[in-house]
Structure 1
Amino acid sequence: MTSTNGVHTADNAIPPLGDDLEDLLEDLAAVRDPGVDQILAGLRYLALTRHTTDRTQTLIAALAGGSDGTNVVAAIGQVIARLTNPDSNPVLRDLAPDQQKRVQLHGETTGFVLAHHDLAQFASDTCAAITDT
C-alpha cells in the first residue's frame, strides 16, 4: 500500500534530518569538544541509519527508555554529576567551598532526575507502541 501523506521517500530512502534536529546538532557542534563531537556523530548516525523495528525499539530503550536507569540519558546525568563533583573534577576545588557544594548538589540532582524512571517511561511507552497491535 502506498501512502499519500508525503513523508515517504523514493525507494523508501531515509530522508535527511529535519531543520530542527539539524540546527540543534549544528549549535551543539559549536562547543568544539571531542567528546561532544563523538556524541553528536553517534546521534547523527543513529538518525540517518536504516534500522529494523526490533533495533529501533532497542535503540529507543538504550537512548532514554531503560526504566532501571540503563540508558544514555541516565549516563549523561551521571557524567554531569561527576563533572560537578570537586572530588572527581579538581578544577572545581578552586571555587569557594559553599559554591563547590552548590555546584555538586545541582549536579547530583541532575543525575537523579535524568535517571528517574518517570522520565524513562515516555521512551518506554514509545518502544511499546512500535509493537502494539
Structure 2
Amino acid sequence: MSGPFPSTDGNQVPPLGPDLEDLLEDLTAVHCPGVDQIVAGLRYIALTRHTVDRTQTLISVLAGGSDGLNLVTAIGEIVARLADADTNPALRTLPINRQKDAQRAGELAHLALTDPELHQTAADTCGAIDGI
C-alpha cells in the first residue's frame, strides 16, 4: 500500500481526502460559473480512473508542462489580464494609481505563476512515473 488510501475491491479510485474536499467546496462557494466549471473539472480528474500515460499527461497539463504548456501558466496569464485595466474594463473605474498598483501586482503574480522552477517538481513527477 502506498499513500493514505488502502487498496479497495476492484482497485477503485478512493474518495477525495478531507483537505482536498474542503478546498474544492470552499472554491465552489465563490459562486462564479467559470470557477465552478474549473472545480468540477478538477473533481472529475481527481475521481476518475486513469491509465499511466493519461496520469502523466494530466500532471503535465495541470502544472508540469514545459514551455508554459500547463494550467498554472494559463492561470498566471489570466491573473495578469484581470489585473490590467487595458484588458479588464471593470478596473477603469478605479483611480489611476490603484489601476497601476493592480497591474503591477498582476504582473508579479504572472511572473511567479509562470516561473519554470514552479513547474519543475510536477515535471519531475511525470519523469518519476516514466522511470526517468
What range is the shorter-chain TM-score in?
over 0.9
2:13 corresponds to which residue? Answer: 14
In structure 2, relative to structure 1, the CA distance for the partners of 1:29 and 1:4 (3 Å cut) is: closer
Q: Which has the higher contact order (CA 8 A, sep 6+)?
A: 1
TM normalised by structure 1 equals 0.93
Residue identity over aligned pairs, in percent, reads: 58
Query: How far has the Cα of 1:67 moved from its partner?
Result: 2.7
Which consecutive residues of structure 1, in runs of 5 or more, have no partner in the other structure? none
How far, CA to CA, are the matches of 1:106 and 1:88 in structure 2?
Answer: 15
Report 1:7-46 matches (<5 A).
7-46=6-45
Q: Cα–Cα, structure 1 residues 115 and 48, in superposed 2: closer, same or farther, change >3 Å?
A: same
| 1:94 CA drift (Å) | 1.1
CA distance in 2, matches of 1:44, 1:98: 39
Moved over 3 A (4+): 3-6
TM-score (norm 2): 0.94
- The alignment yields a C-alpha RMSD, in angstroms, of 1.5
| Count, aligned residues | 131
Q: Which residue of structure 2 aligns with residue 127 of structure 1?
A: 126
Counterparts of residues 39-58 of structure 1 (less than 5 Å): 39-58=38-57
